[in-house]
Amino acid sequence: MARPNYKASVLLVEDEEHLHETLRLNLELEGYEVTSAYDGSQAMKSIQQEYFDVIVLDIMLPEMDGISVTESVRLQNNDVPILILSAKNTPADKITGLKKGADDYLTKPFNLEELLLRVDKLISKNKRIQDRETVGDTYTFGSNKVDFKAQEATIKDGSVISLSKKEAMLLKLLVENKNEVVTREKILQTVWGYNVYPTTRTIDNFILNFRKYFEEDTRNPRYFHSVRGVGYKYTE
């Protein structure tokens, strides 16, 4: 189910202007928020600055082709769904695109309705993966107990502390993805909201606070870990 008033965001990367405008118009008519890029480097800049629910990406692009863009995105551990559009229609081309990290591959000329259907499916699938089974209002680990609703926690020494809204949100996100690395992009998208990017240091400070509250030994954390260059992880 889509969130009320939430418009899924699409990055459209296509250098052929007429096709770009046609696709943009149709995606907007479907209710998507569309950001345009006309070459590979422009696309990479947008991806580094914003969160997208899906990328519709042409292969033959100036500056940096679609395959290179896909590779770069995946190297950054960004798991945004990518739909490749290509005039190349041999099985080998398709396999290359999928091997490099694309989620879907559509050859030109394509049916517009099919493209819109595939975009919708990729967004829905991604949404389901992100909406993991949620934890309840309270969660206990070690000698700590967190009440997400009240935004407070009983910590290791028995005292009760207040949590800021963002602390509670980040804590819940990490717990819901227990034992898995949560990427910086996903944290920014979920906790700070779309397209609002604080620095990595901001998230690091939150993790340091969690260690101070909940860890017996802050230098050798058991629960809260930073994974350099990738993201953060809660383990139990």
Do 221 and 191 share a domain, yes or no? yes
pLDDT 10s digits, 146-171? 999 899 999 988 899 999 999 999 99
Do 22 and 117 share a domain, yes or no? yes
User: Does residue 157 form part of some domain?
Assistant: yes
Q: Which domain holds residue 51?
A: 9-130
Residue-averaged pLDDT of the chain: 88
Which pLDDT score, from 0 to 100, does residue 212 have? Answer: 94
- Helical ranges in the chain per DSSP H: 17-29, 40-49, 66-75, 91-99, 112-130, 165-176, 184-187, 200-214
- Total domains, the chain: 2
Do 13 and 121 share a domain, yes or no? yes
Token pair of 49, please? 């600055």
Give the C-alpha separation, 174 to 96, whole Å.
Answer: 34
User: Does residue 98 form part of some domain?
Assistant: yes
Q: Which residues contact 217 (CB under 8 A, 6 or more apart)?
A: none
Give the C-alpha separation, 98 to 93, whole Å.
Answer: 9
- Give the global pTM: 0.58
Do 143 and 201 share a domain, yes or no? yes
Which pLDDT score, from 0 to 100, does residue 117 have? Answer: 96
Indicate the residue among 103, 130, 157 that finishes a domain: 130
Do 42 and 126 share a domain, yes or no? yes
Do 156 and 73 share a domain, yes or no? no
Which pLDDT score, from 0 to 100, does residue 188 have? Answer: 80
Instruction: Collapse the DSSP code of 168 into the 3-class scheme (helix H, G, I; strand E, B; otherwise coil) and give the result.
Output: helix
Which pLDDT score, from 0 to 100, does residue 184 have? Answer: 82
Low-confidence spans in the chain with pLDDT less than 70: 1-6, 77, 128-134, 193-198
pLDDT 10s digits, 110-119? 999 999 999 9
Which pLDDT score, from 0 to 100, does residue 2 have? Answer: 41
Do 146 and 119 share a domain, yes or no? no
